[in-house]
Amino acid sequence: MITIAHLGPPGTFSEEAATVYGGPDAQYLSLISMPAVVTAIETGVATAGVLPIENVLEGSVTTTLDLLIHETNLQICGETVIAIRFYLVGREGLSLPEIKVLYAHPQSLGQCRRFVERCLPGVETVASLSNSAAPAEALADGRAAAAISSFRAAELTGAQFLAHNIQDRSSNVTRFIALGRKDCPPTGDDKTSFCFGFHEDRAGTLVDALDELAREGINMTKLESRPSKEVLGQYIFWVDINGHRDEDHVALALERIRAKTSLFKVCGSYPRYAKLNDLVNS
């Protein structure tokens, strides 16, 4: 039986994504942080792990990108996308005008900014480590406290639902990646993620490298820059493309990019999530 690690505790969206990816026959391991998920896979405690990498409202999850760029050689072996629905919760009998403090994970708070600004103006906000921790912390606070929570986290803690679907957009979704020791063989509908950087800072280096994708007719679906963590103003570029690293035209483009860069790393080829439109429209 495989063991899939994820950011815990139970009730997080990461747990939901892990169960969607792993199915009913897998075992699941809740861990305290995203770096802990990586370490669990590297040391054999877990077979695979699931990490958030991109939200439609808040953009990339930089912790995940930095782990993949700087700290691990694990490979992306899959992806899944889940709908993100947030709820305002608190203790029984609490009403909206009474709320003095709001607990929320920073990402969740950013995704519910419109509701908070309009319905909870001036309320003190407190950062929580996870969407599961937020309702528990609100219930433990002696003040009139509420929390931004997932549905399952609210049920697990016994919090009362005060408002539902408070995210800024109904199309709010998050993409999660699965990590393992190896990526996946070609399926005919795949993505590849890689990163690269340059020692020399001169005009045209980035365009020159990415032009290799256009030469082979490869569609780039994501381009992100992250600090190199070595020199101020020096960046590592993260790229997602359609296609598998073992396909001839993709392999050729990647080798040409490798030759033009000082740092180059393929982070995995994996089946593309194909149900996004159905999920967004549900």
174 is catalytic: yes
Task: Out of 47, 174, 192, 261, pick the active-site residue.
Answer: 174
C-alpha span between 190 and 186 (Å, rounded): 7
Q: Is 47 known to be catalytic?
A: no
Number of Cβ atoms within 10 Å of the Cβ of 143: 10
Residue-by-residue pLDDT tens, the chain, 282 positions: 899 999 988 888 999 999 999 999 999 999 989 999 999 999 999 999 999 999 988 899 999 999 999 999 999 999 999 999 999 999 999 999 999 999 999 989 999 999 999 999 999 999 998 888 999 999 999 999 999 999 999 999 999 999 999 999 888 899 999 999 999 999 999 999 999 999 877 888 999 999 999 999 999 999 999 999 888 888 999 999 999 999 999 999 999 999 999 999 999 999 999 865 554 445
User: Rounded to whole angstroms, how far apart are CA atoms 278 and 282?
Assistant: 6
* CATH 3.30.70.260 placement within the chain: 190-271
CATH of domain 3-84+172-182: 3.40.190.10
Find the catalytic residue in 13, 86, 176, 198: 176
Question: What CA–CA distance (Å, rounded) separates 150 from 130?
Answer: 10
Specify the fold of 190-271: Alpha-Beta Plaits (3.30.70)
pTM to 2 decimals?
0.84
Homologous superfamily assigned to 87-164? Periplasmic binding protein-like II (3.40.190.10)
